[in-house]
Chains A and B, each alone.
Chain A
Amino acid sequence: MSFALKEQFQVTSRYKMWSYILMGIGLVSLLVGFFMYGAGHDAHHKARFWSSLLHNSVYFLLVVNASMFFVCVTTLAWGGWQMSFRRVPEAISTAVIPLGIISLIVLVCLVATDPHIYHWLHPHGDKLLEGKSAFLNSGFFYTWTILSIGLWTILGIKMRKLSRELDETPITSVAEGKKYIFKNTIWAAIFIVWFALTVASTVPWLWLMSIDAHWYSTMYSWYTFASSFVSGMSLIALFVVYLKNKGYLEVVSEEHLHDLGKFMFAFSVFWTYLWFSQYMLIWYANIPEETVYFLPRVKGPYKYIFFLNLIINFLAPLLILMRRSSKRNYTTITIMAVVIIFGHWLDFYQMVFPGNFKDHVELNLFDFGIAAGFVGIILFATGRALSKNALYAKNHPFFKESVIHHT
């Protein structure tokens, strides 16, 4: 390349300050919430405290893990266009480590201390739960949770290591390049298979769907996956825009932004498709075992959140991101990314809470404070990872393809 690229990202003091402030807000909220709700003997308050932790930790963990999914999918497909900003999703995916540890603690506590979130912990006398106990039992829950988070972390570390491998030792021959691509493909494929077995099937059943233990939906995991993937793409877009604003990522242009925008648009529609498929089949069949899930959500106190969710996550992206020019506009993409991330946070809220809190919505500052804490952790981890390595995987064989990318 004939011009010098800014390859080293430096975390500004303002960025650092904001990540500390947000993490501080999270910590304060956690403490206040613990003494307000968690520490008492009131079962309702206890469940309120742990539900909020479950909602936020699982949501943000799945969102940052979606970054590694994006890296692996594009690697597996031998995609080249993402190579100029590939270090961004790689950096975001390092947050899987802290968030994975937090989620693991929360999930283990949910089963071990039993704050009345998972009713399947006491199946005795309940025919339906007894029938499901081969899957919904604490042993399986622990094993699968530890395996899921552990392998996401380990495979993520492996993928990032493979990417850094070329920074110091460039490829010298075609044969070497082919070998490198092959190695990447294999590891990416392993991640995808594990991702499919966890995020796209069992993990949402165990972590979220089992809150409404009597009810089930075969759409649920895909629906959760779509939610987390579209928010993950929005998060990547946000960081790309931030780095562009700071003068980094010179070779990333509106062509790349356009493609990120397409992902945000397409997967918003995909999410809606799954949302609607799940809803309509249950609405049409009208079987009490199934409609019990939607009753508090559509007709109960959660109806405003339920329909707001649909407006934010479907109508807004559909109408605003439809035009080509809006997908190539940095401001529109930034606003829509924030809207989508918030919208799917709300979506997860109405997946977690109505099962145990059917009577009224208790969304308050505590939930937002915890969410702020998680955002702070993501900011901190991503900033650290970005500044530790070069911003470009510039020795990758597909790097040039990304520089001349044109939609």
Chain B
Amino acid sequence: MAVKKFVVGCFDDEAVLFPAVKNVRKAGYKMHDVYTPFPIHGLDHAMGLRDTSLHTAGFIYGITGTTTALSFISWVFTKDWELNIGGKPHFALPAWIPIMFELTVLFAAVGMVLTFCYLCQLAPFVKKHHFHPRATDDLFVMTIELTAKSNEVEIINFLNSVGAKEVHVQEAETGWWLGRYDNDSKPFDNMIREEHSATA
């Protein structure tokens, strides 16, 4: 997918990071993400991210599993291949509940893992861009996407003023699927400029 240009600001203190996130949002810059070595309570709220709908997906996968188990097993034992097991009725619901439960868990678990990978753009052989290696160690790394409307120098100064310890500019790919990697190698705003010059 597209290569975009980012301003990367590194913070070493939660107490500085939170007001910085607030100020960046207030200033209207397009925040790409904040990378932290560990989960920080309330950061998602500060960034204005909505609650994940992963659990809703999980519920739907779960009831799909329940329905699959119940409909299949009841079809097998009442229509397709009726077995007399210890004189129990063919429709032996209590005996099936553990299986229904297990299929519920299986569907929900596998479905949620795959959905999670899709939402986080993770897949086998996909390389993810790391904005800063210390984001996995001791730095909170905030990335702001440069758009056609925003000014690089202005954002760098802004991040310095809100307490970033280190600020630099990077170009990174934001897409994720196999084979789409080397197609575009130019930053987003360059492409815009090129399109402009091509039409002019």
Interface residues of A (CB under 8 A from B): 276, 279-280, 283-284, 286, 322, 324, 406
Contact = CB atoms under 8 A, between A and B. Distances in A.
A276 B167 CA distance: 59
A40 to B, nearest CB: 42
Contact of A286 (B42, B51, B55, B86): B86
Contact of B59 (A276, A286, A322, A406): A322
A318 to B, nearest CB: 11
Interface residues of B, number: 12
B198 interface: no
B41 interface: yes
B42 A284 contact: no
B94 A406 contact: no
Contact of A280 (B41, B51, B59, B95): B95
A284 B94 contact: yes
A284 B96 CA distance: 11
A276 B97 contact: yes
A41 to B, nearest CB: 43
Contacts, number: 21
Contacts of A283: 94-95
A406 B95 contact: no
Contacts of A276: 94, 97
A280 B86 contact: no
A284 B87 CA distance: 10
B42 A280 contact: no
A280 B95 CA distance: 7
Nearest to A322: B59
Interface in B17-58: 41-42, 51, 55
Query: By DSSP majority rule, is chain A's interface helix, strand, loop, or mixed?
Result: helix
B97 A284 contact: no
A122 to B, nearest CB: 35
A382 B95 CA distance: 44
A322 B55 CA distance: 10
A324 B51 contact: yes
Interface in B51-102: 51, 55, 59, 86-88, 94-95, 97-98
Given A406-B41, A406-B42, 10 more contacts: A276-B97, A279-B94, A280-B94, A280-B95, A284-B86, A284-B94, A286-B86, A286-B87, A286-B88, A324-B55
Contacts of B51: 324
Contact of B97 (A280, A286, A322, A406): A280
Nearest to A273: B101
A368 to B, nearest CB: 32
Contacts of A286: 86-88
8 contacts: A276-B97, A279-B94, A280-B98, A283-B94, A284-B94, A286-B88, A324-B55, A406-B42
B18 to A, nearest CB: 13
Smallest CB-CB A-B distances: 3 pairs = A406-B41, A280-B94, A283-B94
B95 A284 contact: yes
Nearest to A283: B94
A322 to B, nearest CB: 7
